[in-house]
C-alpha cells in the first residue's frame, strides 16, 4: 500500500456554487433583493428546504462573495442582495451591484415585491395560472423610451394562461396602500388585470385568501385582484 499522500483538490478552500445556487442568484438579481425568510421558496418552490438550511445557503453565498445579507426588518430575516461579484456572475450588462446602488429602504421595497411574486406565482390570479413574470428591472430595460417620458414604472407584470397580461403594484405599508388607490384606478383603465399586493389585513373589505377578486365595497375597480404578502 502506497504511503504517498493523496493529492488535494485544486479548488480546496473555495466555495463551489451549483445550478440551484445560480438559478436563485439570477432570480434575486432580477428582483434586486429578497428576504432571507423567502430564500427557501426561491431555491425550491415545489420542495422548500428548512429555514436553517436556507440560512446555511445564504452563508455559503456570503463566503463565496456573491451575496450580502444584512438585518433590516425584525421578523423578516436578513435582506439578501447580490454583491458586485454576484452581479458579474449572473449578468454582463450591469457592473454595479444593487447592494451599492440601492438604499436599505429601497431594497426592502424590492424584497416585498419579490415576496409578492412568490405569492402570486403560487396562487395564480383570479383562477388563472401565472405563466411568466416580467420584473421591474426587465421592464425598464425594454422600455427605456417610456422612462424618459415619465411613465409610471410598475412593480411587475404577469402573463396569465388565459392570454391576458396583468400589471402588479405593491403597497408595503398602510400609508402607501391608502395613497395607491388613485393609481390603481388609473391602472385599471389601461390594463385588463391589475394585481395589488398588500400586507396582511391592510385592505379593509378584501375577502380572505390570495388573488381574490375585490368586491364593490372596497372602492376598487372590479378588474383589480388582491394578494396578501
pLDDT of residue 190: 87
Q: Does 62 share its domain with 110? A: no
Mark out the alpha helices in 69-173 (DSSP H runs).
84-90, 98-101, 104-123, 136-142, 144-148
CA–CA dist 165, 131 (Å, integer): 10
pLDDT digits (tens, 9 = 90+) for 160-210: 998 899 999 998 777 888 888 888 888 988 899 999 998 876 665 443 333
Q: What percent of the chain has pLDDT over 70?
A: 80
Residue 83 has pLDDT above 80, yes or no: yes
Q: Does 176 share its domain with 67? A: no
Q: Is residue 8 assigned to a domain?
A: no
Q: Does 202 share its domain with 123? A: yes
Q: Is residue 51 assigned to a domain?
A: yes
Q: Does 133 share its domain with 202? A: yes
Q: Which segments of the chain are extended strands (E)?
A: 34-35, 67-70, 79-82, 130-135, 156-160, 165-170, 193-198, 212-213, 224-228
Q: Does 38 share its domain with 142? A: no
Structural domain for 21, as ranges: 17-102
Q: Cα separations (Å) of 85 from 11, 42, 179, 208?
A: 18, 20, 37, 42
| Arithmetic mean of pLDDT over the chain | 82
Amino acid at each position: 500500500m502506497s504511503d504517498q499522500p493523496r493529492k488535494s483538490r485544486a479548488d480546496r478552500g473555495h466555495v463551489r456554487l451549483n445550478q440551484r445556487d445560480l438559478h436563485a442568484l439570477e432570480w434575486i438579481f432580477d428582483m434586486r433583493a429578497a428576504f432571507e425568510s423567502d430564500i427557501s421558496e426561491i431555491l425550491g418552490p415545489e420542495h422548500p428546504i428548512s429555514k436553517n438550511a436556507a440560512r446555511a445557503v445564504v452563508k455559503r453565498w456570503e463566503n463565496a462573495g456573491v451575496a450580502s445579507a444584512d438585518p433590516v426588518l425584525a421578523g423578516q430575516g436578513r435582506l439578501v442582495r447580490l454583491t458586485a461579484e454576484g452581479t458579474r456572475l449572473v449578468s454582463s450588462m450591469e457592473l454595479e451591484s444593487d447592494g451599492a446602488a440601492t438604499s436599505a429602504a429601497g431594497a426592502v421595497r424590492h424584497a416585498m415585491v419579490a415576496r409578492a411574486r412568490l405569492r402570486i406565482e403560487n396562487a395564480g390570479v383570479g383562477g388563472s395560472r401565472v405563466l411568466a413574470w416580467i420584473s421591474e428591472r426587465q421592464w425598464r430595460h425594454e422600455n427605456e423610451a417610456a422612462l424618459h417620458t415619465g411613465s409610471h414604472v410598475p412593480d411587475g407584470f404577469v402573463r396569465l394562461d388565459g392570454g391576458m397580461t396583468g400589471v402588479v403594484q405593491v403597497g408595503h405599508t398602510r400609508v402607501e396602500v391608502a395613497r395607491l388607490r388613485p393609481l390603481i384606478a388609473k391602472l385599471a383603465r389601461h390594463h385588463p388585470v391589475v394585481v395589488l399586493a398588500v400586507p396582511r389585513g391592510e385592505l379593509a373589505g378584501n375577502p380572505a385568501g390570495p388573488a381574490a377578486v375585490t368586491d364593490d365595497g372596497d372602492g376598487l375597480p372590479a378588474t383589480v385582484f388582491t394578494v396578501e404578502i
